[in-house]
Amino acid sequence: MTRIFRLTMAQLNPTLGDLAGNAALAAQAWAEGKAAGADLVVLPEMFLTGYQTQDLVRKPAFVADAASRLDALARACADGPVLGIGLPMVEDDNLYNCYVYLAGGKITARFRKHFLPNFNVFDEVRLFNSAAISGPVTLAGGPRIGTPICEDAWSPDVCETMVESGAQILVVPNGSPYFRDKFPIRLQTMIARVVENDVPLVYLNMIGGQDDQMFDGGSFVLNRGGKLAVQLPVFDAAITHVDFQETDQGWVTLDGPKALLPDDLEQDYRAMVEALRDYLRKTGFGKVLLGLSGGIDSAIVAAIAVDALGADQVRCVMLPSEYTSQASLDDAAAAARALGCRYDTVSIAGPRAAVTEALAPLFGDMPADLTEENIQSRIRGLLLMAQSNKFGEMLLTTGNKSEVAVGYATIYGDMAGGYNPIKDMYKTRVFDICRWRNAHHRDWMQGPAGQVIPPAIIDKPPSAELRPDQRDDDSLPPYDVLDGILAMLVDGDASVADCVAAGYDRATVKKIEHLVYISEYKRFQAAPGVRLSDRAFWLDRRYPIVNRWRDPS
């Protein structure tokens, strides 16, 4: 009689620190697997606590609470399939990133992470101890399972050792955060492990937002030879049952569902929507407000917010001055109308006059300069934060990555706010994403279909409108030039000479380099925002605030 082993993959969204809620999600997935006749139900890396814990995992009370919740979960899931789940565990005064299998009301097998990632957003070497490579285990009378935890599968050693020790299937639990075009890297890496070891591989990733990171799922199963057998969607929760059949040549995965993956623009937009939605849900906010200026950045943030929360939970506020053009007033109103959200107007004329009068004895006859421009921005920040406090709405800030990089934003002004959905998106890509959103609508969007960013906003020259006839390119190079230089200096860590060799003017490159370095103090105080690239500002790129070095090339 042909033996079939059924494994249930639970691609779900934990909340960091919500141990009871995460355990409940695990129990629900286990119940679905039990109802489907599964032999094994698996959840992602560190699912019981959520991921990444950062220094929270260094609190003994937190780790002890996780252990207590695990014991209760084991007892609740005693009669049915084996349950696999990740969490931190202490053994002999060492803290490990662990993955355990529960059966019969107790832990029956335990794997400890060997390779600890220490790059980009990861610093697990600081938090965990590296463990010896664990051997495979037999679960529910089925195949021998090897469990390399996330980073353990990104190099050949752990998988090879487990298979040499008898593993017939590799189950890889992951907490792998999104960045653009990461999926092909994951897939090709796991194909390499399968080809090297000639066994099927289950790659299970979590979904959901955590601070600046978005876990995008996209779990899959590879058959021997590296052929794709099962593909789960990106960003969506999914519980899928996968059957393995024993043959004379070993265990083989039977073909299952294969979700189609969207293009990179759609994935970026979905990441921004889901990350905002999760950030608000997990921090306890239900509604947001933002300053809607009539410009493209605030327009796309408004669209993201409406798609994440629904129009009823988003409030847009225009804060005009004498420099605000009628076109901006019309465009902002049109954007709010297209999205269906509330639109209020609060003039900054009175507060600005009061501040000007208060400072007049000190400023005297000194000529107006950037100081007065920043006062306008800071008054707007004050008025928006006051409304945030009064109405319990989280204030969204709207600076794109180009502005964040060179400090083209006013600290305590338009940088005020609790979250920035477009923090890791360069200005040129903001234009692309606006056009994409106008042309596409998906079921996961709570906003309306059609043109939600008026074309006039996309087509007009960008301006902060803090002085007469102001344009962004008065102070900065055109955005296609600026973004090209920033992509090299920031994302690629290129030298000034590299940028010049690529065709950029040296004086322009040196100016941008200087602006990037002197703006570090602003980024240190900036609101968090979703990571879309592998060189986002915050954990990916950690630079000193005080820094006198400049590239001499």
Query: What secondary structure letter does DSSP report for 194?
Result: H
Whole-angstrom distance, CA of residue 522 vs CA of residue 264: 29
Three-state DSSP at 34 gives helix
Is residue 374 a known part of a binding site? yes
Whole-angstrom distance, CA of residue 294 vs CA of residue 326: 10
Whole-angstrom distance, CA of residue 162 vs CA of residue 126: 26
Single-letter code of the amino acid located at 406: V
The closest alpha carbon to 485, from 472, 471, 473, 503, belongs to 503
What burial class does residue 369 get, using C-beta atoms within 10 Å of its C-beta: 0-12 exposed, 13-18 middle, 19+ buried? exposed
Is residue 295 a known part of a binding site? yes
Strand partners, 103: 106
Is residue 205 a known part of a binding site? no
Please state whether beta strands 220-222 and 213-216 pair in parallel, antiparallel, or not at all (unpaired): unpaired
Whole-angstrom distance, CA of residue 97 vs CA of residue 83: 17
Q: Which of 45, 274, 373, 465 is catalytic?
A: 45
Is residue 292 a known part of a binding site? yes
Q: Is the dihedral of CA 397, 403, 406, 410 positive or negative?
A: negative
Is residue 350 a known part of a binding site? no
Angle at 142 between CA 136 and CA 147, to 5 degrees: 30
Q: Which of 77, 150, 159, 434 is catalytic?
A: 150
CA distances from 338 to 170, 276, 438 (A): 49, 20, 11
Whole-angstrom distance, CA of residue 303 vs CA of residue 287: 14
Confirm whether 460 is a catalytic residue: no
Give me the phi and psi of 537, to 5 degrees please: -70, 130
Count other C-beta atoms under 10 Å from residue 516's C-beta.
Answer: 19
Single-letter code of the amino acid located at 11: Q
Look-up: residue for tokens 């993956």?
261
Tokens of 208: 């959901």
Helix (H) or strand (E) holding 344: strand 342-345
The closest alpha carbon to 100, from 91, 88, 92, belongs to 88
Is residue 296 a known part of a binding site? yes
What burial class does residue 202 get, using C-beta atoms within 10 Å of its C-beta: 0-12 exposed, 13-18 middle, 19+ buried? buried
Whole-angstrom distance, CA of residue 496 vs CA of residue 359: 42
Is residue 291 a known part of a binding site? yes
DSSP per-residue letters across 45-111 = TTTTT-S--GGGGG-HHHHHHHHHHHHHHHHHT-SSSEEEEEEEEEETTEEEEEEEEEETTEEEEEE
Is residue 294 a known part of a binding site? yes
Is residue 403 a known part of a binding site? yes
Confirm whether 393 is a catalytic residue: no
Q: Which of 113, 282, 423, 427 is catalytic?
A: 113
Angle at 456 between CA 453 and CA 458, to 5 degrees: 60
Angle at 152 between CA 44 and CA 199, to 5 degrees: 85
Confirm whether 113 is a catalytic residue: yes
Contact 348, 320 (CB under 8 A): yes
Could you list the residues known to form a binding site, using ranges: 176, 182, 291-298, 374, 398, 403, 522
Could you list the residues known to form a binding site for L-glutamine, using ranges: 176, 182
Instruction: List residues with catalytic annotation.
Output: 45, 113, 150
Could you list the residues known to form a binding site for deamido-NAD(+), using ranges: 374, 403, 522
Could you list the residues known to form a binding site for ATP, using ranges: 291-298, 398
